[in-house]
Structure 1
């Protein structure tokens, strides 16, 4: 015998199924035109990374001796390349101590002829060529002398091809100006000027990467632009300190990875408690599902991981963010007034 509850359920079900029923469900459109455009434009996302590649982050200690720092970086990059890495990343300010007091004295001119004026440029180019790798050369302090006799300083990353050719230059866009009560006060803008562009680099055998520096990782817009312009990895040379590092370093790497469903690499200096600035260390590589594949401690180390395009595609199929963005509700930042060249 049917219960009253079951009879009620049957009547309601029947009323939903009868075309003439007064109870109707209004079908809402699942997408608007801009949304459908986004879905179709990402259909070829499986080709973001053309073939698997081993990426290594070289976590170095930097001293006050620039020549030693360059030589030490060369040795460690060779070690990473000998273990199979084809993309190698160095830390922020790897050729000098990190700090506003050091930037002017360690800065090198890259314009108009870096081969003549920048020993770090020459060293990085040679390291990439000798090891036949793509080299994201951490960052170095850059000097620009202006016509009026004034000087500007930038925190600048140089990216080289396996032939030693300069592929891209990224000047740190967001300067590290913070004041944490009871924690740390630091103001890069006292000395440095900001860069003014998003940096995307084409590695022909593999695909595109984006390069930014340290504090840039806190600003998701840079990462979103890079992801929607077809990058398979976001690479950040950085030097978080022992106050912000434990709180946010790994979290930010995972956030940028899961937001954009691609690989993220964060490369830090090793910690030197005898220096004026204590880097957190913990260089790491994160996969498109925000899993930390490998992480160093605070000491010198080389951490590496195999990046695979299928893992990117699997993440994007399983959680299809790329097909569900509502650009009819909010704007696509990658289609706005994005700067890809310095003015």
Structure 2
């Protein structure tokens, strides 16, 4: 189990509203929300956008709204081909002076013609520092309530993602990824202080499992869990649950939104991480002589 090396930081979750079928409008909404969060006091070090905020959340829309995403390490004005949303996210990070988890957008990979649900991360200079492609696709059928099949358009990612910041290592997942505990388990063994999931649960699965899953991942791994959703739009074909929230390592819900547009702030207390692991030392009590270590191949 890697030791957590981190210092306290402030997190902002942007539960965007007023999203529409206009990508330009959605970028404008996101830019305004990032700027407002960055000028709040105390200023957050890390700002998070929700899942699929630049496009309607619809299988039929993902390819139309998809964009090229450049390679990790690409900088502002590097000359690499990239979509308008990526350009905007870079500028949001640079102008805000904050680390930015850019929610997720549909990504077009030209070499394969695949479409991915992709989260990009930027440092305060606008450099692209991490990319996470949603690993587990949202294919469900709850008769009479909710049917959705991302795999009709999307391809699942094949890598797990963490990135380093001056305030600690952060792990990434997207929405449905939180239902698979192995991702958070592996990230926790790698020393993350938090797992952050841009997400868009719906009004069927949200009331059932949104908070439950966050609390489970937080308690099992003794880390912070944050999920950032779009606000609910009554006229949208897909009704997002909202309820962006942060859960601490003890399973307490630190902050939680309703379904309306808002920005949430949470202070990530690294002393609580250390105290929790000292008082409940499950990180050193695992019995890998009895059961396998899911993180064994991810050192």
| Normalised TM-score (structure 2) | 0.94
Q: Structure 2 residue aligned with 1:275, among 212, 223, 236?
A: 236
- 1:69-113 residue CA offsets vs partner (Å, 9 max, x unmatched): 111111111111112111010000011111101101100112478
- 1:170 equivalent among 132, 135, 141: 132
Report the secondary structure of 2:21's partner residue. coil
Counterpart residue number, 2:146: 184
Secondary structure of 1:302's counterpart equals strand
Residue in structure 2 matching 1:136, options 95, 98, 101:
101
Larger Rg, first or second structure (1 or 2): 1
Paired residue secondary structure (1:67): helix
Indicate the residue corresponding to 2:81 in structure 1. 116
Of the candidates 311, 314, 325, which is equivalent to residue 286 of structure 2? 325
Q: How does 1:18-37 map to 2 (within 5 A)?
A: none
2:219 aligns with 258
In structure 2, C-alpha distance between the alignment counterparts of 1:118 and 1:169, rounded to whole Å: 15
Structure 2 residue corresponding to 1:65, chosen from 9, 18, 22: 22
Rounded to whole Å, the distance in 1 between the matches of 2:178 and 2:149 is 17
1:68-83 equivalences under 5 Å are 68-83=25-40
Q: Which segments of 5 or more consecutive residues in structure 1 lack a partner in the other structure?
A: 1-40
Distance in 1 between residues matched to 2:22 and 2:81, nearest whole Å: 20
Q: Do 1:114 and 1:121's aligned partners in 2 also have CA atoms closer than 8 Å?
A: no
Counterpart of 2:65 (choices 81, 106, 113) is: 106
Specify the SS of the correspondent of 1:102.
helix
Conserved 8 A contact 2:94-2:126: yes
- Higher helix content, 1 or 2: 1
In the alignment, structure 1 residue 53 sits paired with structure 2 residue 9 = yes
Query: Following TM superposition, where does structure 1 have runs of at least 4 consecutive aligned residues deviating by more than 4 angstroms?
Result: 111-115
Shift of residue 56, structure 1, vs aligned partner: 0.8
1:115 Cα deviation (Å)?
Answer: 4.9
1:273 CA displacement: 1.3
Cα displacement (A) at 1:114: 8.2
Greater Cα shift, 223-232 or 71-80:
71-80
Alignment of 1:264-303 (within 5 A): 264-303=225-264
Alignment of 1:194-233 (within 5 A): 194-203=156-165, 205-233=166-194
Question: 1:213-263: per-residue Cα shift (whole Å, max 9, x none)?
Answer: 000000000000000000000000000000000000111111110110011
Choose from 181, 199, 212 the match for 1:238. Answer: 199
Indicate conservation of the 8 Å contact 1:111/1:144, yes or no: no
Query: Cα RMSD between the aligned structures?
Result: 1.5
